[in-house]
Amino acid sequence: MHFSRSALLGAFATSASAFEAPMGTFSVNHFIQADALVIGRMDPIVSPGVASGHVHAVQGGNGFALSMTNQQANSSSTCTTAYLTGDKSNYWTPALYFQDPTTKKLEAVEFDYMNVYYFFDKVDADDKIIAFPPGLRILTGDPSLRSPPVTPELITDYSDGPVIQPVQWGCPRVDTSTPLYEADSDGLHGYGIGSKVMLAQGVGFSDKNCDGLYSPMLAEITMPSCWNSATDPSLVTADNPQGYKYLDTFTNKGTMVYPTKGVCPTGFSKVPRMFYEVYWQTTKFASRWTPGQKSQPFVLANGDPTGYSLHADFIAGWDTEVLQNIIDNCNTGDRATDTCPGVTSNPAGTKCNVTNAIPEDLGTTTPLDQLPGNNPIPTAWGIAPSGATAANDSSSAAPMATFSSAAASSSAPAPTSAPIGSSLAVGVVAATASSASASTITASSSSPSTTGSSVASGWSYSGCYQDGNTASTRVLTGITFANVGAVSNTNCVAYCAQAGYSMAGTEYGGQCFCGNSLSTSTKLADSSCATACEGDASQTCGGSWSLSVYSNAAPKVKRAEGHLRRHLQRVNSV
Ligand SMILES: *[C@@H]1O[C@H](CO)[C@@H](O)[C@H](O)[C@H]1NC(C)=O
Ligand SMILES: *[C@@H]1O[C@H](CO)[C@@H](O)[C@H](O)[C@H]1NC(C)=O
Ligand SMILES: *[C@@H]1O[C@H](CO)[C@@H](O)[C@H](O)[C@H]1NC(C)=O
């Protein structure tokens, strides 16, 4: 359910905006490994050739470097973390840190994973969407923003408001009976501004731990989708074969904008609208701070403890024919782009990375006294004087022209005061639908059997096992989040078998993992693995942090079973 839950958030996040394109579809661009391509102070758009002001987490092709030519991502990448071999683009956002409330020391929050939704919004059948040309640089968000934006709702179309509000934080929770943000938040000021429509979302960091069944805290960013595609024959070079005037929309402000009622300005072309979801493993810090104290411990790598300055960057490295084919011919809905016809996926187990060009201690193992880049952190959350923290951050020098960083203005429309938890609050449905439907399924009289499905010849059910909630504590680590489409035990086992693994596990109804052994894990009652599979409701695919584990009983597999037994002995003897 990883994918459909995300799709749900994505779909609802966009529908928080009033305008919705009447036609078109979307696909999800997934990344093949949980790890990022690189984490470091690299930003070839804002700080080419030098250390960026703050740490970013980057995904995509390994042509990524401190400075990049237009063709570099596409032509110089020999691998990519995207599932599609044709996508060597780079996608990045600021990294997240945890500041210990007592010691004030900083620890890197583990990058969990990232999805990028590609929306193909058409206002009518003739509406043309073009592939990103290699080298197109897109960015949004305002790294200098420390005061609340005018609205806690996303605004990504000018028909919904004069000021674009392209970023927010998601914080799904198990118990949504109390407000996600400070109770006294009026939607304009205060300590994290909760969306009045989407109760698991808001601008700024939340006042609660994000313990949702399906995810920890996640960054959500909508990129602009209208690009001034003007050309000039005198600009034609090998690095810009079409002679585009505005591949660099950071230097050329205003050449990349948001649409109005889905329509781009004259002279602009419509490109896919990207929606980034970046998940951070915030859950492991849950016991180290106390919510509801008007202070929260997370800080963006640029020193922002408010979360308002979330931003994102993109440099196109698509094989444009592959992307245009997806735009024109693929209608997979919330399924992945690699289920589109005519595309090539990376083989299972592909890994891709880049060396951090700015080697330094990123605080992944030992707490730091200062953020990398020495970005100062104001002491109070949400009330930092505007600009106080931005001075030392090179990327804050020039916020996007298309994005007004207006602070709360008195002319802002008053937020509607739907009581939290009321039926008006459709966001509750959005945020909890997955868990609600999972438990509904579990409780229904037609509950599927939780004692294993008949999956494949030679494979059998080994039981329900506890999974870890970080990339390093996952118990099946051969392939994590294998991309098998709508997950069932049958297709997960088939996938893992084909990839040469002897064990497969499904989780939360929609996740598939492969491996050859179960690292540290506890066996659970089968009732803990009772979530119906997304791809086959007659089977159960694990549960919350629990895996339905299958193993191959063929000779090679006996080793795995031995492993499992040895492991169980170890667990039982603890
Ligand atoms: C991208 O790179 C590939 C491989 O080097 C090349 O064949 C292709 O022409 C490049 N450009 C585009 C737009 O796909
Ligand atoms: C990057 O990939 C190389 C080659 O597979 C590997 O040796 C190296 O350990 C990886 N580095 C990181 C930081 O994952
Ligand atoms: C900016 O960072 C440098 C170190 O990179 C530090 O020495 C300096 O004091 C900082 N300046 C400000 C204005 O914070």
pLDDT tens string 9-25: 443 444 445 577 777 77
Regarding beta strands 523-524 and 546-552, do their DSSP bridges make them parallel or antiparallel, or are they unpaired? unpaired
Q: Is residue 462 part of a domain?
A: yes
Distance (angstroms) between ligand 2 centre and the Cα of 24 equals 39
Q: Is residue 361 part of a domain?
A: no
Ligand nearest to the CA of 389: 3
Does the beta carbon of 319 lie inside 6 Å of ligand 1? yes
Distance (angstroms) between ligand 3 centre and the Cα of 374 equals 6
pLDDT the model gives residue 451: 73
Q: Is residue 48 part of a domain?
A: yes
Q: Which residue has its alpha carbon closest to ligand 1 atom 14?
A: 319
Q: Is residue 350 part of a domain?
A: no
Q: Is residue 397 part of a domain?
A: no
Distance (angstroms) between ligand 1 centre and the Cα of 177 equals 52
What is the model's pTM?
0.68
DSSP type of residue 132: P
Pair (440, 330) in one structural domain? no
Pair (330, 193) in one structural domain? yes
Report helix, strand or coil for 56. strand
Report residue 163 as tokens.
Answer: 């000021």
Residue with structure tokens 């505005």? 246
Residues in CB range of 343: below 8 A, 6 or more apart: 84, 86, 322, 325, 326, 337
Does the beta carbon of 374 lie inside 6 Å of ligand 3? yes
Mutate to test the pocket of ligand 1, among 68, 69, 75, 77 (most ligand atoms within 8 A of CB): 75
Q: Is residue 32 part of a domain?
A: yes
Report residue 560 as tokens.
Answer: 């795995």
Pair (271, 171) in one structural domain? yes
Distance (angstroms) between ligand 3 centre and the Cα of 190 equals 28
pLDDT the model gives residue 482: 74
Pair (233, 97) in one structural domain? yes
Q: Which residue has its alpha carbon closest to ligand 1 atom 2?
A: 75
Q: Is residue 324 part of a domain?
A: yes
Pair (194, 315) in one structural domain? yes
pLDDT the model gives residue 562: 30
* 194 contacts 152 by C-beta, under 8 angstroms: yes
pLDDT the model gives residue 434: 28
pLDDT the model gives residue 417: 28
Query: Could you list the residue range(s) of the whole structural domain that residue 106 is in?
Result: 5-285+292-339
How many domains is the chain built from?
A: 2
Residue that is last in its domain, among 321, 339, 357: 339
Pair (334, 440) in one structural domain? no
Q: Is residue 401 part of a domain?
A: no
Pair (118, 9) in one structural domain? yes
Residues in CB range of 115: below 8 A, 6 or more apart: 6, 10, 28, 29, 30, 31, 276, 277
What phi and psi, each to the nearest 5 degrees, are found at residue 277?
-125, 120
Residues of the chain with pLDDT under 70: 1-18, 182-193, 196-199, 213-214, 332-335, 379-450, 469-472, 519-520, 553-574
Report residue 20 as tokens.
Answer: 């919705």
Q: pLDDT tens digits, residue range 425-466?
A: 222 222 222 222 222 222 233 445 667 777 778 888 989 998
